Amino acid sequence: MSLAEQIARVKEKIAAAAREAGREPEAVTLVAATKVQTSDTIRQAIAAGITACGENRVQEMTAHLEENAYAGARLHFIGHRQTNKVRQWVGRVDLLESVDSARLLQAVEAQAARLDLVQDILLEVNVGGEASKSGVSPDEVPGLARQAMALPHVRLRGLMAIPPISPLPGANRPFFAKMYQLFVDIRREMSDNQCDIDCLSMGMSGDFEDAIAEGATLVRVGTALFGPRPPMHTAR
């Protein structure tokens, strides 16, 4: 199956899952997780209808930006962030999906202020309480959200989560449901602050349909589009 056919197939599944949940298909955006893909493959994906790409490695992202590989699509950064490298993605990505601490939040604010721009962000939530994953605990989200709302060069757009990996169908539904409730609660709490909270990023290749059923507005899909990841290589 060609890349264009794979993309069309995933989009059909997204639309079906949205309708099953009583939602409009347009309410869910497919973010192509382009980790280890070449610039040529990214261009092909965008030509086939991808409107948002998600990168999780700064080095790859930089190489693709230099080659204008993301032209025609929004760029999300979905990987681990280091506070001392904020210059490499603040102002270069449309949405920073993985802010997970007050320290990183302040670093993003400082760099965005230097560039005189407003950086859209999501707060990453460690919804499964896993020691191996980054993200704030659900209990810490309201406080960090209030901090973000007070910053002039950061625009809080919502939440992101990566639940525990499970081979069992539907196993992550409770985590997705918890994230949706947290999303609703945060949006309600911030409603008096002219907030722009409208993004809930959760769900990947193995569980995006369940995530949509529980309210996801962004699903990050890689393997279901591109197949198993190839070995690392230099972007071209």
pLDDT (tens digit, 9 = 90+) per residue, 9-68? 999 999 999 999 999 999 999 999 999 999 999 999 999 999 999 999 999 999 999 999
Establish if 88 belongs to a structural domain. yes
Is position 214 within any domain? Answer: yes
Region of residue 68 (phi > 0: left; psi between -120 and 50: alpha; otherwise: beta): left
Residue 235 within any structural domain of the chain: no
pLDDT given for residue 112 in this prediction: 98
Any idea what the CATH number is for the domain that residue 123 is in? 3.20.20.10
The verdict on residue 67 lying in a domain is yes
Q: Residue 118 contacts by C-beta under 8 Å, 6 or more apart in sequence? A: 112, 152, 153, 154, 155
Per-residue pLDDT at 236 exceeds 50: no
- Per-residue pLDDT tens over the stretch 121-174: 999 999 988 877 889 999 999 999 999 999 999 999 999 999 988 888 899 999
Whole-angstrom distance, CA of residue 97 vs CA of residue 119? 11
pTM metric for this prediction: 0.93
Contact 210, 18 (CB under 8 A): no
Domain count, the chain: 1
Structure tokens at 221: 């899909």
Between CA 13 and CA 209 the distance in angstroms is 7
In Å, the largest CA–CA distance within the chain is 49
SS (H, E, C) 187-210: HHHCHHHCCCCCEEECCCCCCHHH
DSSP 18-69: HHHTT--GGG-EEEEE-TT--HHHHHHHHHTT--EEEE--HHHHHHHHHTTT
Confirm whether 190 is domain-assigned: yes
| 116 domain residue, yes or no | yes
CA dihedral 176, 153, 80, 71 (to 10 degrees): 90
Predicted confidence (pLDDT) at residue 233 exceeds the cutoff of 70: no
Q: 214: closest CA among 2, 83, 18, 6?
A: 18
Domain that holds residue 63: 3-225
Residue 236 belongs to some domain of the structure: no
